[in-house]
Amino acid sequence: MIRNTKAVVSSAVVWILLGLLTGACEEKIDNISIIRTGAVTDISAEGATFRGNITQLGPEEIIDYGFVWSEEAFPTVEGNAKFFGKPPTIGEFEYQNTAGLKKDTTYYLRAFMQTSGSVIYGDVVTFKSLGGQPPVISDFEPKEGTYGSELTVKGDFFSDAPAENFVKIGALNCEIIKASRTELTVKVINGTMISGSYPLFVQVGNHKTQSIDSFMMEGFQIDSISPHKGIANVDVQLWCKNAPQYYMQLSLIANGSSNDISGYHYAYSPTEIRFKIPYDFSFVGPAQISVEFFDSEYNSAGLLLKDYEIAGPQVLSFTPKQAFPGEKIFVTGQYLDKITQVLIGNSSSVLTPTSSTSGSVAIDYATPPGKFTIDAPWVNHTKIPSSDSIEIISPWTSDRTFPGGEIANGVGFAINNKMYAGIGSIMQQDFKANNDFWEFDENGSYSKKATFPGVARTSASSAAIGDKGFVIGGKTEKKASLGDFWSYSPATDSWLQLANVPCGTRYDAIAAVVDEDIYFGTGLSGSSAYSYTFHADIWRYSTITQKWDSITSYPGRARQSLVSFVIGNDIFVGGGFLGSINPKDFWVYHTKTDSWQNLGALPLLYAAANVSALVIDNVAYVTGGTGLPEQIWKFDPTNHLWTQLPSMTLVDRTNRVYNTIGITVNKKGYIIGGYKSYGPTYLSEEIWEFDPSVF
């Protein structure tokens, strides 16, 4: 059948020409084909009957004839048309149109004949439609296919006019190749469609029907994702089929939100989509990759989701499950080679990876006690916790405060399992001193004792022998050094002034006890903060003879605020402060031979001054000070070996803690007060208990 014609001839024009050619041209009338459009009959909700009449056939061969109709005037064979597909004969003909007509719609109808080079139309007839039969789908073949597949749809009440039939598979249009009342031949056109099972739709006019069976469409599908789990900024590949060549949006759905990552894809073909998870994407956990395509008009044409797990460095297991600050633990996990530290209780600890899945962690000495996850720091301040918790054990506890309030540079000693402390600074800025004196025990009971009767002072030295305590020297609020010597008796709660020390005035000096003797020396003397002298002399006081004698001086440079402690018959001395010099030398004084032995240097980053030393079971524990901050070091006197132990930084000590009072009772140490940092209000009233038995 021929639809594209070279000429169109209207029967109305033909009859005008005939009227002008009356008589003289009668012989030419036989050379013209004439067709008329009849009235439309049988108009009902089931369609209408079109009628036509061929009244004359000319010499030019007619190869087809039929009807054309449209909602616009002057329909042509380019639109809705019924071709009978054979040469006509003279006479009437009709066509019952049962499909495709819209209800209450005016149509324009023309009969036509077609030659090899032209179309001859009849006059235009109008009618108002009452509708038509809805299409019926009885079957279609094949039941599966892809783009370009041809389908045969069988049924009834399809339109003979291909243009009046609309066929879709899901939302995908099909091209109409052939059409008849009972059969349609269609082709699946290229587009954007996700693989799946879809119904087939046929619409004729305003009637639409759906197939019972579904068509299995092999459209766009994601076969696999590789890898299924990965860290940010690594390649991810989606292996797929029939990826449409249209606009694509790639999204990462995680933590309840969708994030457009289209800008991170860098390879795209019908079989592969390659992209990266953004490096700064901080979420870690289960997610989905969303692939959505849009047609040429930016309408969504399909969306697929694929599960993906965003990973990051994480500690999955570790041993042991219980550890001290400073101890090394061994960890396993994932992507451990991407980080160099972990967080335990907000304290940063060094991670040394041996591979991407294993390594060791040196727990920071300042890590507080408690149960914590081991957190791996990641992008945008993300912390990825371990699946289990580690228990950090510390020898330090703090559940009480000094009854006298904030104090530093005070004195303290133990007598008969009772602790005595006081006589020190109560305000740093204005250098106020307090002579209050307190008794308390490890259970938290306390009582105020007789006020120290001497001049209010700080930085005095103290010691205890038997049932007596002793306070030596110190400095006044005006920073003038003192040389008086006092004893305290808990039995009578009274103070007794003894003869002044023979070395003159002294503060920030050492005081140590061996047997019945007090060893006192070094330190500073002067009348003000601007006039002072450092000393290295050492003096011995016998509580039996109540006399002082001079012994061999400290062999190091004269200085103040040295650390000192006694183990057995030996006095260990070192560190201290010497103006702008902070020495680290460390010595032991052998009381039996009145001789000094150099033990090298203190194992500290800075020098230790204003330090507290606790001796428990013949082992020394040194903590605090301007050089130690909150560190604590254990000293083994047999091997002269220093070992760092868990820090005292457990609650709110944010800087240095020094000029504390250190006392030992019942194999436990107590650190009282001290300065937490420089400033007018940074004195402490805390009491920290140190129990080495937890190691």
487-520 residue pLDDT tens: 999 999 999 999 999 999 999 999 999 999 999 9
Same topology, domains 136-217 and 397-694? Answer is no
470-491 residue pLDDT tens: 999 999 988 899 999 999 999 9
Weakest mean pLDDT among 147-161, 449-463, 541-555: 147-161
Beta-carbon contacts of residue 545 (< 8 Å; ≥ 6 apart): none
The candidate with the shortest Cα–Cα distance to 661, out of 648, 671, 676, 646, is 671
Cβ atoms 195, 264 nearer than 8 A? no
Binned at pLDDT 50, 70 and 90, residue 430 comes out as: low
3-state secondary structure of 104: strand
- Asked whether the predicted pLDDT for residue 252 surpasses 70, the reply is yes
State the maximum Cα–Cα separation within the chain, in Å, rounded to a whole number.
Answer: 172
Cis peptide, bond prior to residue 142, ω within 30 of zero: yes
| Domain residue extents for the chain | 7-130, 136-217, 221-311, 314-393, 397-694
Q: What's the CATH number for 136-217? A: 2.60.40.10
pLDDT of residue 220: 82
**397-694: CATH, from 2.120.10.80, 3.40.190.10, 1.10.1740.10, 3.30.300.130:** 2.120.10.80
Binned at pLDDT 50, 70 and 90, residue 301 comes out as: low
**Distance in angstroms (rounded) separating the CA atoms of residues 564 and 578:** 16
pLDDT of residue 29: 60
Encoded tokens for 237: 């590949």
- Asked whether the predicted pLDDT for residue 299 surpasses 80, the reply is no
User: What is the average pLDDT across 111-127?
Assistant: 93
- Asked whether the predicted pLDDT for residue 651 surpasses 50, the reply is no
Cβ atoms 391, 371 nearer than 8 A? yes
Which runs of E-coded beta strand occur in 380-479? 383-384, 389-392, 396-401, 411-415, 418-427, 432-440, 446-449, 461-465, 468-475
Cα torsion for 96, 101, 107, 109, to the nearest 10°? -30
β-pairing, 322-323 with 389-392?
parallel
Binned at pLDDT 50, 70 and 90, residue 269 comes out as: confident
Give me the phi and psi of 649, to 5 degrees please.
Answer: -75, 90
Which runs of E-coded beta strand occur in 61-130? 62-70, 80-83, 91-97, 103-115, 118-121, 125-130
User: What is the average pLDDT across 409-432?
Assistant: 86
pLDDT of residue 243: 79
507-553 residue pLDDT tens: 999 999 999 999 999 999 998 767 889 999 999 999 999 999 999 99
pLDDT of residue 74: 93
The candidate with the shortest Cα–Cα distance to 560, out of 481, 486, 500, is 481
Q: Which of 148-162, 218-232, 276-290 has the highest mean pLDDT?
A: 148-162
- Asked whether the predicted pLDDT for residue 656 surpasses 60, the reply is no
β-pairing, 686-690 with 668-672?
antiparallel
User: What is the average pLDDT across 428-454?
Assistant: 88
Binned at pLDDT 50, 70 and 90, residue 606 comes out as: low
323-373 residue pLDDT tens: 988 889 999 999 999 999 999 988 899 999 999 999 999 998 778 888 999
Protein fold of 221-311: Immunoglobulin-like (2.60.40)
- Asked whether the predicted pLDDT for residue 315 surpasses 90, the reply is yes
**Distance in angstroms (rounded) separating the CA atoms of residues 512 and 514:** 7
**Distance in angstroms (rounded) separating the CA atoms of residues 596 and 351:** 43
Beta-carbon contacts of residue 105 (< 8 Å; ≥ 6 apart): 71, 128, 129
The candidate with the shortest Cα–Cα distance to 149, out of 219, 199, 201, is 219
User: How many percent of the chain have pLDDT more than 70?
Assistant: 89
**Distance in angstroms (rounded) separating the CA atoms of residues 629 and 624:** 5
**DSSP one-letter string for 139-165:** EEE-SEE-TT-EEEEEEE---SSGGGE
13-36 residue pLDDT tens: 443 344 444 343 444 466 889 999
**Distance in angstroms (rounded) separating the CA atoms of residues 226 and 218:** 22
- Asked whether the predicted pLDDT for residue 586 surpasses 80, the reply is yes
pLDDT of residue 593: 97
- Asked whether the predicted pLDDT for residue 658 surpasses 90, the reply is no
**Distance in angstroms (rounded) separating the CA atoms of residues 409 and 396:** 22
What per-residue string of b and e applies to 85-123 under the rule 16 or more CB within 10 Å gives b? eeebeeeebebebbbbbbeeeebbbbbbbbbeeebbbbe
46-82 residue pLDDT tens: 889 999 999 999 888 999 999 999 999 999 998 888 9
**DSSP one-letter string for 533-599:** EEEEEEEEEETTTTEEEEEPPPSS---BS-EEEEETTEEEEE--BBTTB---EEEEEETTTTEEEEE
Weakest mean pLDDT among 46-55, 130-139, 242-251: 242-251
For the chain, the average pLDDT equals 86
User: What is the average pLDDT across 198-209?
Assistant: 91
Weakest mean pLDDT among 171-185, 419-433, 632-646: 419-433
Protein fold of 7-130: Immunoglobulin-like (2.60.40)
**314-393: CATH, from 2.10.240.10, 2.40.170.20, 1.10.390.10, 2.60.40.10:** 2.60.40.10
Q: Provide the 10 A C-beta neighbour count for residue 58.
A: 17
Beta-carbon contacts of residue 184 (< 8 Å; ≥ 6 apart): 152, 153, 158, 165, 167, 176, 178, 202
User: What is the average pLDDT across 384-399?
Assistant: 88
Please report, for residues 116, 132, 689, the alpha-carbon distance to residue 80 in angstroms, rounded to integers and kept in the order given: 20, 15, 100
Q: Provide the 10 A C-beta neighbour count for residue 185.
A: 17
Cβ atoms 643, 636 nearer than 8 A? yes
H-run or E-run covering 207: strand 207-217
Residue position matching structure tokens 């019926």? 136
